[in-house]
Amino acid sequence: MSQSVLILGGGVAGLTSALLLAEKGHAVRVLEQNSHLGGRLCHAPPPVLLDAHEATWSLINRLGQDAVTRRLRHTPLEFLQSTGARIQFLHLPLPSPLNTLLGTTLFQGLSMRDRWHLLSFLERTWEQDPPLPNDLDSRAADEWLTSIGQSEAARHGVWNSLARLLVGAALPESSAGLFMRTLRRCFLTGARATKLIVPPQGLDAFLLAPLKTELDRLNVQVTLNATVTQLRFSQHRVTEVELADRSTLTADWYLSALPPHRLTPLLPERVITHYAYFQQLSRLKEASWVAVRLHLDQPVKQTQLVLLEGKTFHWIIRHPDETRQEQTSVVWAQAVGESDLLPRAKEELVQRAVEDMAAAFPGATTPRILDGDVVRLASAMVASRPGAHQYRPIATSPFTNLLVAGAWTDTGWPANLESAILSGRRCAEALSASSLHQSS
C-alpha cells in the first residue's frame, strides 16, 4: 500500500531512503533547510571505497556509477610514518585467510615482534579460543592494542593512522570494539575486502548528482530552504511538522535524517524526558573535520592515498583532475578531530597542506598551486569514543510512524558514508515492511 513519507534532511541518508521508497511507489517529499541537497557532503572529497562497504556499492550500482568504478585500478594504501619511512600495505589477490597471513607477514610497517603478536591474535580470533572480550566497546583502541602485544611504535606508526581513516579518531579516542570490527571487515575478511578504490571525483559529482537525477525521474518532491522548527506528537504517533513560516505539513510517515544536534531541538520536552531513546542523544559527541583542496598544474596517472603520522593532516589523496580535462591534478589533505584547526586562517591551512603534500609526494619539481579551498565542519561526525555505541539509536523510534536515519545511528559502522547509506536503506526497509504488514 502506497504511503506518504516526509523526510527531514536532504543528506545522503535521507536521499537514499527517498530513492528506495519512491521506487516502491510511496509518495516522498524531502525537506532541506539549505539551498542545496547533499548536506555536509556536497563539497566532500572522493570517498575511500572498500569492498566491505556493501550498502555503498549497492547504491553505486543502482545509480549506474559502477561503470565509473569498474575502470578504476586498486589504489595502494601507503603509510608515511613520523620517522619519514614510507610503507605500502600490499593487496594480495589470495583466498582468505592466506591473504591476511601473508599480507601481515610481509607488511614492513610493523616489526617482526608486532607482526608475530598480531598473527597470534588473529589465529586465536579465528579459533575463538579464547573468545573476544565482551567489553571492547567500552575500551579505548590504544589500550586494547597494547593488551594484544602491539608496541608503541606500531600503535603510533600504523594503527593510529588507520584508526583516523577508518573510524575518524585517534586510537586513545576510538572505541576498541568499533575499530576492531571495522578493521576486520575492511582488511581481514578476504582478498576483495582489501581492494581499495578512490574515484577521481568528489562526492557531489560521483554520488549526489546521479542520486538527484534519479530522484527527479521518480518524481520525488524536494523543498529547499525549508527549516523545520517542531515535530508534534499525539500519543504514539507524529501528527505534523511545523516550519519556520508557521505552516504545517502532514504525512503517513516521518523520517528524520538530521544530525542529533538538529533533531533534539525539534522534540517537545515531554518526549525527550519520557523516552531514553531521545535522552541518550545528548551523550553523543561530535568531531570536527577540516579539508584543504589544492588544484595543481602537474598531472598524475593514478590516484594515490597516503596516511600521515606526525603531520597537520591525517591523510592525503591525490587524483587526476577529470573535471577540467587538463594536465592538472587535485590534492585533498584531511584531518579529523583536530578542533584547533577550525579557526586557522585559510592561508595557513593551505600552506600546511602544501608542506604535507611535499612530504607525501616527494618529487624533483614542486607543482604550482593553481587554487586552493578550505572546508571546515565543527560537527562533521559522531565521535567514535569508547562507550558511544550504546547511545547510537536504531532506525525505529518509540513512535510508530517516526524513523531515524543518519551516519550517526546504530549501523555497526563508524559514522561514515557507508553508515549513512545503510541507515537510509534500513529506514526504507522498516517502513516498507510495516506498510506491508498493515495492508495484509
pLDDT digits (tens, 9 = 90+) for 384-436: 999 999 999 999 999 999 999 999 999 999 999 999 999 999 999 999 988 65
Amino acid type, 415 = A
pLDDT digits (tens, 9 = 90+) for 122-159: 777 766 656 677 889 999 999 999 999 999 999 998 99
- pTM recorded for the entire structure: 0.93
SS3 279: helix
Tell me if 264 sits within 8 A of 277, measured CB to CB.
no
- What is the sign of the dihedral through the CA atoms of 301, 302, 305 and 306? negative
Q: Residues near 185 by Cβ (< 8 Å), separated by ≥ 6?
A: 52, 193
pLDDT digits (tens, 9 = 90+) for 223-232: 999 999 999 9
Q: pLDDT class for 97, splitting at 50, 70, 90?
A: low
Tell me if 148 sits within 8 A of 154, measured CB to CB.
no
Q: Residues near 221 by Cβ (< 8 Å), separated by ≥ 6?
A: 28, 29, 30
Q: Which three cell numbers stand for residue 66?
A: 559502477
Cis before 130? omega within 30 = yes
Q: pLDDT class for 183, splitting at 50, 70, 90?
A: confident
